[in-house]
Structure 1
Amino acid sequence: MSVQLKQLKTELATELENILSYWSKNAIDSQNDGFVGQIDHSENRIENAEKGAVLNARILWSFSSGYQVTKKEAHKKIAQRAFEYVSNHLYDTEFGGLFWSIHADKTPKDTKNQIYALAFAIYGLSEYYVISKDEKALEIAINLYKKIQKHSYDRVNRGYLEAFTRDWQPIEDLRLSDKDANEKKTMNTHLHIVEAYANLFKVWKDKTLQNDIIELLQTIEKHFINTETGHLRLFFDENWIEKPDVISYGHDIEAAWLLLQCAEISEDQTLITNYKKHAVQMAEVTKEGLDSDGGLWYEFDAEKNELVAEKHWWIQAEALIGFYNAYQLTGDENYLNIVFKNWDFIKNHILDAENGEWFWGIYRDYSLIEKDKAGFWKCPYHNSRACLELIHRIKN
């Protein structure tokens, strides 16, 4: 192993500890239970902010997965705290779904069933089961999987529908966030359903689940991966009619490695072979979004021929894994050099050396994007996962 790779692994192990330390010290909500719903860009805790399901599910995953490397009981305790919060307050025992958000006082705020959030709960719960062997965690994960299959799966056209009311009726606004198209089938949700199902399959070897993973990967390959360009298609209606949108470099490079990992977990050899090819092609075309400083741009609007000139934290995290994965598949050191350069960019511009954690990102002129340090969408998942994946992948 090269000196540079050894150094990278050492630095990422340190950074993993730093990320988990930040959340341990700053995000615990002693007053209202669980974790604070928001910490703004100036490190101010917004004590009564609403608490999102995605944030809590990702904290659950990050500390459950992180504990397996750090072996620190304090990390396991925070994973347990996250599990108790998700299972006691976000999991809807009446209708078997998951509240999108709750008030700081633990009462439901937005009760819609956003399938993306259910997927992250499955992802976190199955990871927590690895370290706890708590049957309740596995039981809730399986229940959520069955709810998705019952209500979200499109039996006519395949794929999964985005969102429902609390009692599983159709809902008008399907969007994950304001920037998304209001369409019934999205790449982002399918990516995270298959990620969640694959993680569940690692601890629950159910044949039906395995078949669902295989079908999902086939569906993604058929509709979401544009094999001509190598980029992802993002939005469709229920009949798979595309609504063209931006090129999302972050999702391209995340999907490149994550879908291959899911294919490997599915044990379907044809899919493994196909997704190895997709992983390299998607990494190759993502290079279009790399800046000379090693950072990866956010999005490109092809219709306007316009770059969305921002470099977000999560995109850099996924770039580390996606390009390292391409290096593993090809042996091409150009990909490895991208990883080194991207990590330097992260250290220089994204890491908050003073307070810990990662800034939301920077603009073209290197000024900070003044958005949350912790919040609905700012979670310890992308950056801790980048550290964890490379720690596992870089062999001693």
Structure 2
Amino acid sequence: MTPSPVAIAAYRRKYERELFERVIPFWLQYSLDRERGGYFNCLDRDGSLYDTTKHVWLQGRQAWLFAKLYRTVESKPEWLAAARLGVDFLQHFAIRPDRRAYFSLTEDGKPIQLQRKIFSECFYTMALAEFSRASDRPDLLAAARDELATLWDWAYDWSYVGRPVLAGQHPAQSLAVPMILLNLIEEIAPDDASEYAVEVEDCIRRILLHVNSDEQLVYETVAPDGSQIASPQGRLLNPGHAIEAGWFLQHWAQRLQREDLSADAIAIVRWSFARGWDDEYGGIFYFLDAEGYSPTPLEWSMKLWWVQCEALYAHLLNFSLTGDRDDWDAFERVDAYCFEHFSDPKFGEWFGYCDRQGNVTHRFKGGPYKGCFHVPRALLLCWRLLQALETPNTQSVA
């Protein structure tokens, strides 16, 4: 049975309250560093600061989020000011002369750590693109395009970012790289991506190399030709990443009017959820082994906030396209788990880490890997989609 308009409206109000009354105010109140710029990421349960380190990829994500809110929800000056605080800090301190971005900085912008990855650069670029539109700064969009061109050169050869290729390594491709690049192109070119047509198709092709339709699995790491790597790394499943990749693909399927890609994206979300859901305790596992061995990451059985966040939107997006009750039921199942285990009724925002049984293991709301991004992005996307479902003639894909 299709959910009633009353049920959809109730969820819309729920997500609206959670986003605008309990999540966004938390970050506005506690994270903004108005003295030195940027954001404090390491916030305890009640918002108190336990470490002044500023993590660059979280700076970029938070700047993007506030610019997106300003441009697409309401032109609140405080949202634009919050976004500017992050972008200015990043431009002054995060980028080296060789275009690499640091991973972490002191509160006044001195470098602490440089990773041999490209993700800090990706989220810096995403922040530039969204803030350029929010602030009417075409020069920043041009800068974002330049950054994307550099990232494209680095993406599949990390020797450019200081990671050597060793003789015993098996050639491999991570799902994270093509999916984040595909999302980055969506952010840089939300209206007309024709100049990136080749890059978009390359990202889609590379993502689909990870999908084994016969097994109904999405592998986190595969050989460059898509074949499986016979190792724990090659057997590793990351249901959250796969689900996130599914909705990234679905956005492009709708833009490109590709029914085949849409069907693939729907299946990726459904398969990954079916494999990843913990039938005993609820929630989606962080990692699994495709052949049933114990996954080598020690945290494999934990339930992480971002994994559940990606599933919330992906299932709702599937339902908006299919009308299938199973997709709606999956959304409701994840929603119930999230609001029981992650949402903090006392101080707002969400916890990030639970053990397999659903007990909170880390009380903080922000750390080196959790910031103002996955929770508000998922709530925003779901809220907008629920609005569209209330009014069926509106556009359903964000």
With normalisation by structure 1, the TM-score equals 0.85
Q: Report the AA paired with residue 145 of structure 2.
A: I
* 1:74 and 2:78 matched: yes
* CA distance in 1 between partners of 2:372 and 2:215 (Å): 31
Partner of 1:216: 203
* CA distance in 2 between partners of 1:182 and 1:144 (Å): 29
| Alpha carbons 1:58, 1:120 under 8 Å: kept | yes
* CA distance in 2 between partners of 1:339 and 1:229 (Å): 24
Cα distance per residue 1:184-236 (max 9 Å; x no partner): 63101221111001211126x46442321122212222x22222233322124
Taking only the aligned residue pairs, the percentage that are identical comes to 20
Partner of 1:261: 251
2:122 corresponds to which of 103, 119, 122: 119
1:84 corresponds to which of 84, 88, 106: 88
* 1:202 and 2:198 matched: no
* CA distance in 1 between partners of 2:111 and 2:45 (Å): 26
* 1:342 and 2:334 matched: yes
Query: How many Å apart are 1:104 and its aligned residue?
Result: 2.5
Cα distance per residue 1:165-185 (max 9 Å; x no partner): 3xxxx42399xxxxxx99763
1:145 corresponds to which of 148, 167, 177: 148
* 1:229 and 2:219 matched: no
* CA distance in 2 between partners of 1:228 and 1:239 (Å): 17
Cα distance per residue 1:340-376 (max 9 Å; x no partner): 2321221111101111111013223332121642122
| Alpha carbons 2:250, 2:266 under 8 Å: kept | no
Partner of 2:275: 288
Cα distance per residue 1:53-108 (max 9 Å; x no partner): 2101110121122222244221121111111112222133x222322222223122
Query: How many Å apart are 1:276 and its aligned residue?
Result: 1.1
* 1:164 and 2:164 matched: no
Partner of 1:328: 320
| Alpha carbons 1:100, 1:113 under 8 Å: kept | no
Query: How many Å apart are 1:274 and its aligned residue?
Result: 2.5
Query: How many Å apart are 1:42 and its aligned residue?
Result: 6.7
Q: Report the AA paired with residue 297 of structure 1.
A: F
* CA distance in 2 between partners of 1:173 and 1:36 (Å): 35
The gaps in structure 1 that reach 5 residues or longer are: 153-159, 175-180
Partner of 1:108: 111
Instruction: Quickly say closer, same or farther: Cα 1:261–1:314, change in 2 above 3 A.
Output: same
Query: What is the CA RMSD across the aligned residues, in angstroms?
Result: 2.7
| Alpha carbons 2:95, 2:101 under 8 Å: kept | yes
* CA distance in 2 between partners of 1:66 and 1:304 (Å): 42
1:21 corresponds to which of 18, 25, 30: 25
Partner of 1:177: none
Query: How many Å apart are 1:151 and its aligned residue?
Result: 3.5
Query: How many Å apart are 1:259 and its aligned residue?
Result: 1.4
Please, which moves more after superposition, 5-14 or 307-316? 307-316
- Aligned residue for 2:112, secondary structure, equals strand
Q: Report the AA paired with residue 187 of structure 2.
A: N
Q: Report the AA paired with residue 340 of structure 2.
A: N
Query: How many Å apart are 1:238 and its aligned residue?
Result: 5.7
| Alpha carbons 1:32, 1:104 under 8 Å: kept | yes
Query: How many Å apart are 1:334 and its aligned residue?
Result: 1.8
| Alpha carbons 1:116, 1:162 under 8 Å: kept | no
Cα distance per residue 1:244-281 (max 9 Å; x no partner): 1322121122111111213434x3x4xx2222111221
Instruction: Quickly say closer, same or farther: Cα 1:202–1:5, change in 2 above 3 A.
Output: same
* CA distance in 2 between partners of 1:375 and 1:136 (Å): 32
Instruction: Quickly say closer, same or farther: Cα 1:6–1:63, change in 2 above 3 A.
Output: same
Cα distance per residue 1:105-127 (max 9 Å; x no partner): 31222345622222222222222
Instruction: Quickly say closer, same or farther: Cα 1:370–1:42, change in 2 above 3 A.
Output: farther
* CA distance in 2 between partners of 1:112 and 1:348 (Å): 35
Query: How many Å apart are 1:145 and its aligned residue?
Result: 0.8
With normalisation by structure 2, the TM-score equals 0.84
| Alpha carbons 2:26, 2:349 under 8 Å: kept | yes
Partner of 1:132: 135
Cα distance per residue 1:311-343 (max 9 Å; x no partner): 211111111111112212221112112212321
Partner of 1:157: none
* CA distance in 2 between partners of 1:47 and 1:30 (Å): 16
Query: How many Å apart are 1:240 and its aligned residue?
Result: 5.7
| Alpha carbons 2:62, 2:373 under 8 Å: kept | yes
- Aligned residue for 2:214, secondary structure, equals coil
Please, which moves more after superposition, 289-298 or 63-72? 289-298
1:302 corresponds to which of 271, 280, 290: 290
Partner of 1:156: none
* CA distance in 2 between partners of 1:184 and 1:60 (Å): 32
Residues 311-326 of structure 1 aligned to structure 2 (within 5 Å) = 311-326=303-318
Instruction: Quickly say closer, same or farther: Cα 1:333–1:206, change in 2 above 3 A.
Output: closer
* CA distance in 1 between partners of 2:318 and 2:89 (Å): 37
* 1:276 and 2:262 matched: yes
Partner of 1:178: none
Query: How many Å apart are 1:239 and its aligned residue?
Result: 6.6
Instruction: Quickly say closer, same or farther: Cα 1:115–1:30, change in 2 above 3 A.
Output: same
- Aligned residue for 1:369, secondary structure, equals strand
- Aligned residue for 2:38, secondary structure, equals coil
Instruction: Quickly say closer, same or farther: Cα 1:173–1:378, change in 2 above 3 A.
Output: farther
* 1:249 and 2:239 matched: yes
- Aligned residue for 2:189, secondary structure, equals helix
Please, which moves more after superposition, 326-335 or 35-44? 35-44
